[in-house]
Structure 1
Amino acid sequence: MGSAVERTDEHVREYLIYRGFTNTLKHLDSEIKADKEKGFRVDKIIDQLQQFVQSFDLFGLKEYWLYLDRRLFCRLEDVYRSTINKLRTSLFRYYVINTIQKGNLEKTQEFFQKQAAELQGQAEWRDWFILPFIPAPEQSPAFSPYFSRQWSDTFLVSLHNFMSVLFQCMPQPVLLSFDAEVQKMTGLNEENEQLRQLLFALQMEGREQRDGDEMVLHKLPPYVQNMDRLGDTELDLVSSQRAVSAATTPSRNFFSTFLPQGRRTPVKPSQVTLGSSPSQATVGRKEPSANQPAKSKEAPQAREVKPFSSQPSTIESANFQSQQSINQQTNQVTNLNPRHKRVQDHEKERKELFSKPPLQMPERKGEAGDVEPPAETNTESQDSSNRSCAAGPDAGGLSVEQPFIKLSQEEYGEHHSSIMHCRVDCSGRRVASLDVDGVIKVWSFNPIMQTKATIMSKSPLLSLEWATKPDRLLLLGSGVGTVRLYDTDAKKNLYEMNIDDTHPRILSLACSPSGSSFVCSAAALGRSGNGESAPRLPIPVSGQLLLWDTKTVKQQLQFSLEPEPVAINCTAFNHNGNLLVTGAADGVIRLFDMQRYESAMSWRAHDGEVYSVEFSYDENTVFSIGEDGKFIQWNIHRCGVKQSEQILPQDATGPFVLSGYSGYKQVQVPRGRLFAFDSEGQHTLTCSSSGGLIYRLTNGEPALERVLSLGGHKAPVVTVDWSSAVDCGTCLTASMDGKIKLSTLLAQKS
C-alpha cells in the first residue's frame, strides 16, 4: 500500500501543477513532510518509534502512539484491543530497557515517576517499579529475558507485521485502485501472450501431424515419410540402445536416486544430420560398419541416407540413382495432389544438390573417411553473419545450417562501471545486474527495456542471486559479512543477515529450487585487507560454506570442507536440490549430498582456482571452467573421470583486461557465471573480447564446436546468462565498460 500511496501522491502533484493550483501544491508538500503516517510505510513508522526511544523522548513517544491509536487502532474491532495493549506495554518496556542499557538512570526514574499514576494499577507493571533499584537487572531471572537481543527483535517484528496487516486490510479510496488495475491489466496481457504462443505451437503441431497423416494415407516411400524426422529416428535408436545397456548393467551408484525420473537424457546432436532443407546438414559423423548387425528395426533407415561429402563418388551415384527411382514411383502415386507436388519439388531440389560435384573437396590422406582440415581463411565474415557457421574439420565444402538465428540485439547502458554479475530470474521476466561500484539495477526487457529498481549500498557488494520462490526476492552478498534479502517489487530490504565477521567476503550465493534455504560461501580477506584488489596468493584463502533457512533467517549448518577450509568461488544446485556442486580456490570440485548434508565426493579439477561450475542437462555430468583456461566435463558417477576437455582462450576464462589511455589497465578476476546452457543443454554460451560465443557440445574432439558469435561489445565480456522460453531464447552478455547486450535468438528445429 505504501508504494501505491507514493505513486498516487506523485500523480496528484502532477495534476495540481497542470491545473496551476500552486497554493494547494504548497500545502500538500508541507503536509506530506509532516505526515505522521509516513505514507503508510511501516518501516518508516517503526524507525520513528525507535528514534523516540533512542533519544529518550518519552513525551514524543507517548504522543505518537496516541496519534496512531486515534487514527488507526480505534477503528479496529474489540477483539484486537488486547493485542494493541500488549504492543503498547512492550513498547514502553522497550523504552525502559534501553535507558538502563545506555546507563541513563535519570530517564528510568523519570519514566516511573510520570507513568506511576497510569501503570500502578496494571498487573503486568507491578514488579517493574523495583527495576531502577536493582544493581544488575540484566542478571535478574525476572528481567534478564527483556535484555536479550532476541526479545527486542521479536517485539519489533511483531509490531511490523501487525501494522502491515492493518494497512493491507484498510479500505482504500477509489483513487488508489488504479495501481491494482494496472497490475491486473499487465497480468492479463502477459497471460494472453503466453496463451497466444501456446495456441501457435499447438496449431503448428497439428499441421505437422496432418501433413504426416496425409503422407501415410497416400503410401509415400519410407524415405520421403521420414526425411524430416531422420534426426528423431537416430535419437530414438540411441536412446533404445542406452535403455538396453542400462537394463543389463544396473547402476550401483547412489546418485541415481537424485537424478530426474521424467526427463529424457539428451543425446548430443549427431555430426551428420539431414534436416528438412538441403542446407540443413552437419558433416563429420562416422558411419557404422557394413558387417555390424543392426540393433533395432530402425537402424537400416538411419543408414540409408549418406552425405556425398564423406563417401566415395560411387556411393554418391548409387544414392542418386536410388533417389531418382523413388521419385519416379512417387510421381505415379501422388501426381493428383498439390501438396505432393510441393514434396516432388522439394525432392527435385534435393536431387540437384546431390548431383552437383563437390567444388572444394579436400584430398584424402591415410585411411578412408579421413580428410585434411581446410584452412580457416574467412573467420571475420563468419562471425559477422548470423546465419553462417564455422565449418568443422570435416566440412568438405558443404554449408551447415546454424541452430540459432539472432533476431535482435538491444543494449542496457545504465551502469557506469564494469559488471560483476548479471542474472535472469526464474520466470525470465527480470534481470539483476551488479557492477564493481556496488550499484545493482533490476530491469525488465519485455515488452520494453525498463529499469524497475536501483539498489545502492554503503558496503561493497560482491554477489547476488535470485530467489526461486517467490522470484521477486533477491539475495545480495556484501564484503562486510552480511547477506540482504531484497524485495524488488516493494523496493525495500526484508532482512539483513550477519554471516561471519572472520569471513566477511560473500563470494557466492545459491538458492535451493524449493526456495526454503540458500547456500552462502564466505571467505576471509586477502593480505592487503581488500578482497577485490589483493593479488592472488599461492595459498588459497580460508573460507566457509553455510546453509541458511530463508523463512526463519537462521543458519542451519556449516559444511565440512576437506582437506582444509577454503574459499568457495561458485555453487550450483541440481533440479530438485538434492545435490550441490561447488568450485573452490584450491582447484577442487566438491559434490554435496543435500539429504545428508555431507560431502559425497571431491576431486582436483583445475590447476588454479575453479571459476564457474554447472550441472549438465541430464545431471549425470558437471561442467567447469578454471584458472588454467580449461572447459572440462566430469562424470559424477566416477569420481575425477573426465568425459571431455577443451582449452578456451583467455578472454573466455579471465582474468579480464581492459586497456585505456597512457598505459592504464583494468584487471578483473571472474566473479559471475562464465558459461550458460540453452534449454536443451546442447549449446553453451561463453565470454569473449567482443561479445558472447555459442558452441555446440560434441562427443568427439574437439569438445566444443563454434556455431555463432553474438558480438556487439567494445570491451571484454566478463559474465553471461541464457534464459530460454518457447522457441525464443534470451542471451545476456555483460562487459567491463558497463554495457549489457540482450540478444534474442530463434532456435531452428531440425
Structure 2
Amino acid sequence: MDSFQVDSSFQQIDELIKEYLLFRGFSATFRSFESECRNDKDKRFQADKIIEELYTFITNSDINGLIDYWKYLDLRYFSRLDARFFGSVKKFEEDLLKYYLVYATQQKRREKVLEFFDAFGTELNGNSGWTKWFGLPFSRDPTIDPNYDIFFTKQWLEMFTISLHNFLSAIFQNMPLPSLLCFNIDRIQRYVLEDEIKTLRNEINSIKNGKTETGNGDTEFKLKINKPQEPTNYTKMLQRARALFDQKDRNAPSRSSTTSNKVNSDNNSVKSAEIYTDDLCLTPISEYAIDNSQELPGEDINPFTIMNQEIYLEHTSGISHAKFSHKGNLIASCDTDNIVSIWSYSGAPVKSKIDNLNLNITCLEWESRSDKLFLMGTDERFVKIYNKESRSIVHEFQTDGHFPRVKQINCSPVEPLFACSSSPKEVDDGWNNVNGLLITWNLKTMMIQDKFILEPSMSKASGLPVAPIETLQFNHNGQMLVTGDRVGCIRIFDIRSFKPIMEWSLPKITNISLSKKGNGVICSSRFSFDENNIYVVDEAGDLTQWSIHKPGTIISHSHLNGFPPSPLLSPNHASLTKPSFRKRTSSTSSVRSTKSNKSFSGIYLTNGFGSGSTNNGNNGVTNGGNLNKVPMVSFSNDTKHVLCVGGNGGCQGVIYQTSTGNQVQLLAPHNSVLTAVDWTTVNGNSVLTGAMDGSVRVTKMVTDIST
C-alpha cells in the first residue's frame, strides 16, 4: 500500500471512530480524540509534514522545540531501526542542528547562535564534527569560509531535505500497521491472489490445449511457478533507502527545497467525448511457427522464456502510441486517425474507443495509482482526463497558449499529481534555445500546482542550451523528476521547489567518443532501479548511464546496435511485400488512413527512418520523414533490460542488456515497421509492440531461471 493509500485510510478510519464515539455518546472521548488528531505529532506519517514541522522550529529559532521534536521521532521510530541505520540517524540530527545555525546566521540572529553554543557547547565539545563550528559566530563571512561555505549553499540544503524525506518515507513504508489498516490490505491482497490464480489457470489450460509454442507443457508450468517474485513496494523502498545511505561517495552538488508549492486556479471547461464500442475489436490472433532461435552475440542470451504471444487488431491505421495500464491488464493505444482505444488483452473483456474531437493526440499516460483515469495530450493545449468507469472525459487542462503542443506526460507514483512538458507548435529539428514549458497539475483539485519555463536566458546562467522536453519520469516516491530534451540536456527537478537541482548535457562528454548521428534528441531518460544513476537513450542509439551523486559523470556507455533502425523501404512502397495476415480496408492499404484529413502531428509515419521530410500529398503520408522515437524505447522495471524498435529493418522488437548494450533477445517480427513499444512487470513480464499496419502484439514472458 503506497503512502497516499495509507493517508486516505487514516482519514477514513479517524472519521469512522469519531462517528462511533458520537453514536455511543462518548462525547468527552470524542473531544479528546479530536484534539489529539489536531495535534498529531506523527502528521499522519507524511514525511513532507514532519520535515515542514522541523523547519518551522528552525525558522522560529526555537532550538528547544526542535530538539524535543527530534527526540520524539528518535524514541518513536529511529530507536527501533536496525543498528546499521543509527549512524545515518546521528548524521541527520547533526546536519539538522547545523542548518539551525546556518539559518540563524543568514537571518542575522547572532544571539541565537551564541545561545546555542552556551546551551550545548559542553555536550558538543570533543565531537570532531563540531570542532570547527565553534568559530562560526566569529567568522566574517561564513558563506565563503571553507569551514562552512558548503552548508550555506542551496544545493546542500536541498540534498539534505531529499535524503531526510526518503529516509522517513522508507521508515513509514516498512513499519507494521494496526489491524484496522491491515484489514484493507489483506482484502486487496486476496483480490490480487485471486487474479493470479485465475491467470495461472488460464495459462495451464492454454498449455493443455496446445495453444503455446512449447515442447513440454510441464516444463513451462514449472518455469512460471519458480519465477522469482517481484519485490513488493515496501521492499523496493527499503532497497533504495539502503542504496542511498550505504553509498560512500557523497560529493554530489544536488539540491532540494522546502519552498511551498503554488496552487493556481484553473477554469478549464469540461467537454463530453463520444464513446462507442467496436464489436470487431478484441480479436486476438495467436502466433504460429514463430522462430525465436536466432543466435545473438554476447552474454545473457535469451534471458526470458516466451510463454505466449498474440496479435490484436484494435485499429485500422498505424499505431502512434500504446501503453500498458498501471495494473498491467489493460492497454491504451492511439492510431494515426487519432482514435484512442482502451482494451484488455487478459481477463474480462474491456473495450471502448474515444473520439478526440478532431485534436491530434501527441502522448498517452495512465494514472499511476489505479486504472481508473487515463490522460491524453494534444497539440492544441489540451490534456484530457478520461474516466474509464464512466466512459467520458471528466476534465480538460489547458497549457499556456505559447506552448500548445503537449510533448510528454508522467504521473506521480504516490500522489494525485502529473507532470507534462509542452512546446511551441512549430516542428523544427534545429530547435536550440527555444522556450519549453514544464507543468505539474493536481488531479484532486484539478488545478495547476507548479510551472517552470525553460527560456533562453537560462543558458547564460547554466551554459546549457534550452529546448522543449521530450521525456520525463518521476522517481519511486514522486519527489524528483528527470527530464531529457531535444538538444541532449538532462535535468533533475525537485518537485517541492520545482526547480532543476542537477543538469548536464550529453554533447559535453570529452572522454567518450559518442556517435555523432542524430540531433541529440533524447528518446528516454529514467532513474535506475536503485536510483543512484540515470539511464539515457538518445536518437543516435547511444545508451549512457550517469551518476546522480556526481552530476555529469558518465558511468557507462554503449551503442544499441540496430536502434534506430536503418531505412527499410524505398519511397515507392508503403508496406512490406509480405502479405498481410488479415483483410485490410481501404484505410489500411497505406500507412496513413485515407478516411481522415486531419494533419497528424504527434508522429510522422513514414516509409523509413530518414531525416527530413517530403510530403507526397497523399493524406499526410510522408516519405523519408522522422518517426517519433520516444515511444520506441521502454525499460524493464529493474532497469536490467531495455526494449527498443530494432531488428529486421524496424519491424522487430529487440531486448538489450543495459549493462553492456548487447542484444540479448529478439521478439517476433511484425508485417510492417514498428512505431511503439511498452513493458509491464505487474503480472510477470509482458511487452507490447505496435506497428504501422495497426497491429499490436502482446508477448508474455517469464525470466529464464537457467540464465
Q: Which has the higher helix share?
A: 1
* TM-score computed with the length of structure 1 as normaliser: 0.46
